[in-house]
Amino acid sequence: MPTITINRKVFEKYVGKKLPDEKLKDRISMLGTDLEDVNEDEITVEVFPNRPDMLSVQGFSRAFSSFIGEKTGLSQYKVIPSKEKMIVDSSVKDVRPYTVCAIVRGLKFDDEKIKEVIEIQEKLHVTYGRNRKKVAIGVYPCEKIKFPIKFMSQNPKDIVFRPLEASKEMNALEILEKHSAGKDYGHLLEGKKNFPVFRDANNEVLSMPPIINSHKTGKVNEETKDVFIECSGFDFKVLENCLNIIIAALYEMGGKVYSMELEYGTKRYTTPNMNPEEMELDIGYINKLLGLDLKENDAKKLLEKMGYGHNKGKALIPSYRADILHQSDLAEDIAIAYGYEHFQEEIPKVATIAEEDKFEIFKNKIADLLVGLKFLEASTYNLTNETTQCKKMNTKVPLVYLSNSISSDYDVLRAWVTPNVIEILSNNRHHEYPQKIFAIGRVFKKEKNEDTGIKEDERISVAIAAEKTNYTEIRQVLDYLFRSIDVKYDIKETEHGSFIEGRAARVSVTKKNIAYIGEINPLVLENWELEVPIAAFEINLTELYKIIKK
C-alpha cells in the first residue's frame, strides 16, 4: 500500500483543529488507514489503494476533518470557464487516445507546496495510474506556454526537446535510451511507430507522455502562479477522476480552477467536471449488510461525516471519489462513520465444525504441482473488456456485459482466463525470458438453468513464453498434471482463432471437453506486442473436479 508522510502543521491547518496525540492516532486508525507514526512534525500513514484521493495532505486532511465532524458534508468546488482549448489530434487514437485538462490560477508556491504537488503526482502515477500505464499526469507553468495546446502523435525522431533536469536537447528515442525516466517507462511506448506529444501554439514541446516533461515548458518553480494540468491515458472516465483528485487538492491550496474546452474532432467536452454523481441510497440493503437499523436521516448524517452530500434519497458522491461503484461501497463508508468500535459482537446461532473446502484443496494441489515446475502464480481480475477477451485474442466468445459499468476497461465478466495471462506476459515483456506463469480464476457465461442466469466456473490458464517454446513443451506440462492427479485424458486436433492452426487441440476427460491447448497465434502475439512464442493451455477445473468426484 502507498505510504504518505505529511507535515503535521499543514495537516492541522487544513483540518481546522488540533487533537492530542492519542486521540489523533485513534481517529486516523478508525478512518480506514494504517497509521505508521505520529510525531511533533510529521504524520505517516498507509492509504488503501481504493482511496487515491487521500494521497495528498489536502485530500487526507479533507477526509479526516469531515470524519471528526469538523467540516462535514459535500465540498463545493467552483469552476470558472477559461475559454482555452485543447485540440486532440486523431493521430493519438492508437497510441494514447484521451486527455483531460484544467487550469489553476492564483497559486502561491513555495518549496513545501511544490513538494506536495510532486508527491501527489507521483503517488497517483504509481497507484491509480498503474505506473503511468493507465494514467500519465503533467503539470506546467502557464507563463511558459501559449494556448491552445495540441495533443498529437509524431515520429519519435521529430520530437526534440530538453527533458526535465537534462543538460541538453534529445529526440524521443534518445530520451528512452539515455534519460532515467526514459529507461524506467520506455517500455510503455515499446513497439509504437509514433509517440504521443503535447505542443503549445508556439510548437514548443510540453511533454512526451507517459515519459517526461520538457525542462523549458514543464518545470514548476516558486515563481509559478498559474498551472496547466493534463492527464492522458486510455479511459476518459478514469482520467476525469484522476484530474478531479488533483484539482480538489490545488483548489484547497488556494487556487482558482478554470475549465478547458477539449476538441476531439467534431466532439466537444469540458473538463474538469467537479459536480457530484448521484447514487440511490438503499437503506434496506445497507442495514441488512451492516446489521443495523438506520433511518434515512441517520444514514444522511453518517454519509456527511465521510464527505458526501444527500438529497431526496440519493447519495451525492464527491467528484474526487473514484472508488464508489456500488451500494456496498456506501455501506463501507457508513460503517466507518458509524464506528467499527460501536458494532456489537454476536455469537452465531449455528454450530459447525470447520473443514477446508475439498475443491480448494484440489486447486491448491494443482497450483503446487505447477510451482514445483517453476511456474509463477499470478492473480487476475474477473472484470475485463471485450478487446482483451476477444479482439486481441483473434476470437469471439460470448460475454456477460455489466449494465452500469463506469469504465470501458472493466465492462464485462471474463469468459476465459488465458487473455489475462497473455496480458501479464505483454506487460512484462521487458523482463528476461523464459517466463512461466499460471492463473486460477473464475469465468462467467450466460446459462438459463442457473438461478442467476449466469454460470460460474473456476479455470486455470498455464503459459510459457520463451524463444524456443512450442506445443511439445506445454503438452509435457499437461501430461505431468494429469498423471499427478491420476486422470486419463483424450486429445483431438481442433481449430481456435487464438492458436496456430495445426498446433491446437481439445482435451476431454470421459468424453467431456474440459481444456484447450496449443501455440498462440502470431496475430495474437502481434496484438499484444509480444515478440517471443507462447504455448498455453486452459482447463476447466470445476468440470474436472466433478469428473474426479464421480
Cis peptide before 81 (omega within 30 of 0): no
Cα separation of the two ends of the chain: 44
Residue in this structure with the C-alpha cell 466532439, named with its chain if needed: 267
Domain ranges of the chain: 3-67, 79-271, 277-342, 358-549
Which burial class, exposed, middle or buried, applies to 468 when counting CB atoms under 10 A from its CB (0-12, 13-18, 19+)? exposed
The runs of H, that is alpha helices, within 57-159 are 57-67, 111-126
Q: How far apart are CA 12 and CA 6, in angstroms?
A: 10
Residue in this structure with the C-alpha cell 483528485, named with its chain if needed: 245
Instruction: Name residues whose C-beta falls within 8 Å of residue 372's C-beta, 6 or more positions apart in sequence.
Output: none
Tell me the C-alpha to C-alpha distance, in Å, between residue 39 and each of 21, 22, 70, 95, 161: 8, 11, 22, 46, 44
Q: How far apart are CA 42 and CA 490, in angstroms?
A: 65
Which burial class, exposed, middle or buried, applies to 37 when counting CB atoms under 10 A from its CB (0-12, 13-18, 19+)? exposed
Q: What kind of fold does domain 3-67 have according to CATH?
A: Phenylalanyl-tRNA Synthetase; Chain B, domain 1 (3.30.56)
Q: What share of the chain is helix, strand, coil (3-state, %, to 5)?
A: 35, 30, 40
Backbone angles phi, psi at 236, to 5 degrees: -60, -40
Taking each helix axis from N to C terminus, what angle separates 236-252 and 111-126, rounded to the nearest 10 degrees? Answer: 160
Helix (H, G, I), strand (E, B) or coil at 260: strand
The CATH label, of 3.30.56.10, 3.40.50.880, 1.10.3720.10, 2.40.30.10, for the domain at 277-342 is 3.30.56.10
Which burial class, exposed, middle or buried, applies to 425 when counting CB atoms under 10 A from its CB (0-12, 13-18, 19+)? buried
The answer to whether 268 and 301 are in contact (CB under 8 A) is no
CB atoms within 10 A of CB 9: 12
Domains 277-342 and 358-549 share a fold: no
Closest Cα partner for 51 from 382, 381, 336?
336
Distance of CA 160 to the CA centre of its chain: 31
**pLDDT reported for residue 10:** 92
**pLDDT reported for residue 494:** 95
The answer to whether 195 and 75 are in contact (CB under 8 A) is no
The H or E element containing residue 327 is helix 327-338
Q: How far apart are CA 61 and CA 48, in angstroms?
A: 15
- b/e 439-467 (16+ beta carbons within 10 angstroms → b): bbbebbbeeeeeeeeeeebbbbbbbbbee
Q: How far apart are CA 249 and CA 316, in angstroms?
A: 19
Q: Which residues pair with 441 in a beta bridge?
A: 459
Q: Residue 426 carries which side chain, given as an amino acid letter?
A: S
**pLDDT reported for residue 113:** 87
Q: How far apart are CA 155 and CA 241, in angstroms?
A: 30
Q: What kind of fold does domain 358-549 have according to CATH?
A: BirA Bifunctional Protein; domain 2 (3.30.930)
The CATH label, of 1.10.3330.10, 3.30.300.30, 1.20.1440.230, 3.50.40.10, for the domain at 79-271 is 3.50.40.10
DSSP-derived letter for residue 318 is: -
The H or E element containing residue 177 is helix 172-178
Q: What angle do CA 192, 96, 277 make, to 5 degrees?
A: 160
Tell me the C-alpha to C-alpha distance, in Å, between residue 300 and each of 30, 283, 314, 325, 335: 19, 10, 9, 18, 13
**pLDDT reported for residue 336:** 95
**pLDDT reported for residue 243:** 97
Residue 369 grid cell? 504441482
The answer to whether 209 and 138 are in contact (CB under 8 A) is yes
Residue 102 grid cell? 484544467
Closest Cα partner for 138 from 251, 23, 217?
217
The answer to whether 15 and 70 are in contact (CB under 8 A) is yes
437-470 per-position pLDDT tens digit: 999 999 999 988 888 889 999 999 999 999 999 9
Q: How far apart are CA 398 and CA 453, in angstroms?
A: 14
Q: How far apart are CA 514 and CA 511, in angstroms?
A: 9
Closest Cα partner for 69 from 16, 22, 11, 12?
16
The answer to whether 99 and 210 are in contact (CB under 8 A) is no
pTM: 0.76
The H or E element containing residue 152 is strand 149-154
State the 10-residue block means of pLDDT for the chain, 550 residues long.
Answer: 88 92 92 88 90 94 95 95 96 95 94 89 92 94 96 96 94 95 93 95 96 94 94 94 96 96 96 95 94 94 96 94 92 95 85 87 96 95 94 94 82 95 93 95 91 92 96 96 95 95 95 96 95 96 93
Handedness of CA 423, 425, 431, 437 (dihedral sign): positive
